[in-house]
């Protein structure tokens, strides 16, 4: 196990996190190369080796070292902005390895990605399709498109990360999809390759994926009945992780990955199949390392105040998300309380009303599952610098992936 106690002290890939804190300071994100490689290898074996095209959802964590690592396993990238496109190009991803998702693409973004002949645009509305047709025409290109279908399937996850219900902003109704595909001649610069779906994130049961596969089987049959032939089907992503036990192996948390791949091939094997995993690849490969500033009692309520904050990990404030809390020294007694940061917001809490280890001033705290949607959603609110990212190599060496932001770097943006 990459993250574990050795001689009662918390380690990552054999490296004592006390030594990491002494070298790089806190708060800091610590990633395990061992876990990143394990997760990428599982996805390669389960999907890529079965013929799926797998694109990592870069929004989960866009660190270039991580992107370069997963690229070696044959994954492409799923982007949602100009910045992510430029990062993909910076890391050497070719146009054929890039999908462009998102409900609001700008003219500048469309022109930039059309010039590279990216693999697919996931189109989510009529206005986007019409804009893409105009920009492709101007560029003398034919844009490869997957129309994003909203299948109204409940992903059984948090409402804020559900994307496949009809009340969500994403995708289009089956009727609109069918209309565009049966009127493809109206868009001479669009190549309608197929359908994209993404029903939500942090899905821990296989049934929503089974339901999506069955839905797409019936929907594609209905398209064939009206003379529409497509060649690509995209199942999206959304595979979940165990936030309560963040160091559980990927195949313990999601033992159903192979069954999803097999069911998709059985029912939809005539199409080029795509998936876009994000969280499942990086979440349990990272932790947030913080230092305890002190303890506080207020009206009988106990608070542990740390130097990390919602600027480093916003998910608890945004979603009420659970992240496991560990002490650097093993077997500390538990105490009910909150873990809070120094940011001047009542929502600046990383754990509420929880049994957490008893911490003293200057103790190190480990916050699990911080490899996804932590650094990538970080902010400089309260003029707090972005925290560093450190990779613990399989060799036991540490590598600084992103330095701690300085005040001069923050102030340099102002004119």
Residue ranges per domain, the chain?
3-30+284-411, 102-275
Q: Is 225 helix (H, G, I), strand (E, B) or coil?
A: helix
Domains 3-30+284-411 and 102-275 share a fold: no
Please tell us whether the domain made up of 102-275 is placed in CATH 3.20.20.10.
Answer: yes
- For residues 155 and 203, what is the distance between their CA atoms, to the nearest angstrom? 6
What is the block-wise mean pLDDT of the chain (415 residues), using blocks of 10 residues? 93 97 98 98 98 98 98 98 98 98 95 97 96 98 96 59 48 92 97 94 92 94 95 96 96 96 97 97 98 95 97 95 97 97 96 97 98 98 98 95 97 95
Count Cβ atoms below 10 Å from residue 260 Cβ, excluding itself.
20
Kindly give, in sequence order, each residue whose CB lies less than 8 Å from that of residue 279, ignoring residues fewer than 6 positions away. Answer: 57, 60, 201, 202, 237, 239, 240, 241, 372, 373
Residues in the chain, overall count: 415
Q: What is the pTM of this model?
A: 0.94
CB atoms within 10 A of CB 70: 24
Active site residue 344: yes
Nearest one of 61, 63, 25, 33 to 290, comparing CA atoms: 25
Q: What's the count of helices (H) and strands (E) in the chain, helices before strands?
A: 13, 20
CATH superfamily for 3-30+284-411 is Lyase, Ornithine Decarboxylase; Chain A, domain 1 (2.40.37.10)
Q: How many CB atoms lie within 10 A of CB 5?
A: 15
Distance CA 407, CA 166 (A): 44
Burial class (CB in 10 A: 0-12, 13-18, 19+), 112: middle
Q: Look up residue 36 and give its DSSP letter.
A: H
Check residue 405 and report its DSSP letter: P
The DSSP element (H or E) to which 5 belongs, if any, is strand 3-6
- Predicted local distance difference test score (pLDDT) of residue 334: 97
């Amino acid at each position: 196990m990459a993250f574990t106690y050795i001689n009662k002290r918390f380690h990552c890939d054999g490296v004592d996190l006390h030594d990491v804190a002494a070298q790089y300071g806190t708060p800091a994100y610590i990633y395990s190369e061992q876990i990143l490689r394990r997760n990428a290898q599982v996805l390669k074996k389960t999907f890529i080796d079965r013929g799926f095209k797998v694109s990592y959802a870069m929004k989960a964590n866009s660190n270039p070292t991580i992107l370069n690592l997963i690229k070696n396993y044959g994954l492409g990238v799923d982007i949602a902005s100009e910045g992510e496109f430029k990062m993909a190009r910076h890391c050497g991803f070719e146009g054929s390895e890039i999908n462009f998702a998102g409900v609001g693409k700008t003219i500048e973004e469309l022109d930039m990605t059309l010039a590279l002949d990216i693999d697919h645009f996931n189109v989510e509305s009529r206005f986007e399709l019409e804009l893409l047709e105009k920009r492709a025409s101007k560029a003398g290109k034919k844009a490869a498109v997957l129309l994003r279908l909203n299948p109204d399937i409940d992903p059984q996850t948090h409402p804020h990360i559900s994307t496949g219900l009809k009340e969500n902003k994403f995708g289009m109704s089956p009727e609109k999809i069918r209309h565009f595909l049966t009127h493809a001649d109206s868009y001479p610069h669009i190549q309608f390759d197929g359908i994209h779906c993404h029903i939500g994130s942090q899905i821990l049961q296989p049934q929503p994926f089974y339901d999506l596969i069955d839905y797409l089987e019936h929907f594609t049959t209905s398209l064939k009945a009206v003379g529409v032939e497509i060649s690509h089907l995209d199942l999206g992503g959304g595979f979940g992780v165990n936030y309560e036990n963040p160091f559980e192996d990927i195949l313990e948390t999601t033992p159903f990955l192979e069954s999803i791949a097999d069911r998709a091939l059985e029912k939809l094997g005539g199409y080029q199949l795509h998936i876009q995993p994000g969280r499942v690849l990086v979440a349990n490969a990272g932790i947030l390392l913080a230092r305890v500033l002190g303890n506080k009692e207020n009206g009988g309520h106990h608070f542990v105040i740390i130097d990390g904050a919602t600027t480093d990990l916003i998910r608890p404030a945004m979603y009420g998300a659970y992240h496991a809390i560990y002490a650097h020294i093993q077997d500390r007694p538990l105490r009910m309380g909150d873990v809070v940061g120094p940011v001047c917001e009542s929502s600046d809490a990383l754990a509420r009303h929880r049994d957490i280890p008893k911490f003293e001033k200057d103790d190190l705290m480990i916050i699990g599952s911080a490899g996804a949607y932590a650094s990538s959603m970080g902010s400089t609110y309260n003029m707090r610098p972005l925290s560093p990212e450190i990779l613990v190599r399989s060799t036991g060496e540490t590598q600084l992936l992103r330095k701690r932001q300085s005040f001069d770097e923050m102030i340099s943006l102002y004119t």
